Amino acid sequence: MTNIRNIEAIIPPPPYHMVGDGFKVHNFFPSSRIIGDTGMSPFFLMDYNAKWEITPSERPRGVGVHPHRGIETITIAYHGRIAHHDSAGNSGVIGEGDVQWMTAGGGVLHKEYHEKEFSRKGGLFQMVQLWISLPKRFKMTPPKYQTIESKDMTRVMLKDGVSHVDLIAGSYMEKKGPASTFTPTNLFNASLKKGIRADFSFPLEYNTGLLVIEGEININGSRNATADNFVYFSHDGEKFTVEAVTDSIVLLLSGEPVNEEIYPYGPFVMNTRDEIKQAYEDFYNGKFGHLED
């Protein structure tokens, strides 16, 4: 293979922390020294809730009402069911393979928690949440919400007729995913049977990584990565291969970096300190709307 994109690092899951009482997450970035807060731009944050057995509860666990500005939040469910409400009047429930894509833009309140019936029964839970930092010209765009169910994703079948790549956003093999984005963004779930290889290519300047959700994979015929590890790629080429050592599920993300100074603080990702101060002032003055906890 020519023009190979090599691996910069394979990062094991950092120690977990709780987000509210419903999400037990490993933060791969921006806390990683290797990746930082711009190394995966436009993706600013990745929180990964590895497989976790939820005990039954009449009170759904989760994270209560909180604000966002300047970002989009993307929640991908692998096991369990997640409910969402926001102050723009949007709500939804996602289950295995589904995605909720919330554009906070100029400001929104939202809450996420285990869906009521899933909470009552308990069960296996696994999910990923990503934050995308909006470019300066879109920081104050009106809030919006996209529910992208698994059945609505664009599916690209691979040569064995079973393995496939589900496109959430961006394009692969001349097909496009359903999500609308503000900058060029690729977000795929690849489900690969043992021994099946998938080839990928993204522009050299795009920040690119993958998270092994399930199984074990080999990359470029040289290095293996196992479940719950994040693979961060160098900017030395465009093409790479992923081959399943065992039946595997892989989340791939690649996007055009937003080459702007950012100033993140708490639930806001803006471009300057003054904009952060304004975000907090607007939040405390009720300009993000109202949402019951």
**Dist. CA 287–CA 264, nearest whole Å:** 20
**Could you read off the pLDDT of 157-166 as tens digits, one per residue?**
999 999 999 9
Amino acid at 116: K
Q: Is the bond preceding 60 in cis, omega lying within 30 degrees of 0?
A: no
- pTM assigned to the model: 0.97
Neighbours of 110 (CB within 10 A): 27
Q: What angle do CA 170, 67, 133 make, to 5 degrees?
A: 30
**Which residues does the chain have with pLDDT short of 50?**
1
pLDDT of residue 1: 47
Phi, psi of 138 (to 5 degrees): -115, 5
| CA pair distance 20, 204, nearest whole angstrom | 38
Q: What is the pLDDT of residue 293?
A: 87
Peptide linkage before 30 cis (omega within 30 of 0): yes
Taking only the tens place, the pLDDT of each residue in 133-185 is: 999 999 999 999 999 999 999 999 999 999 999 999 999 999 999 999 999 99
Residue 63 pLDDT = 97
Q: List the domains of the chain with CATH numbers.
A: 7-284 (2.60.120.10)
Residue 242: the pLDDT is 98
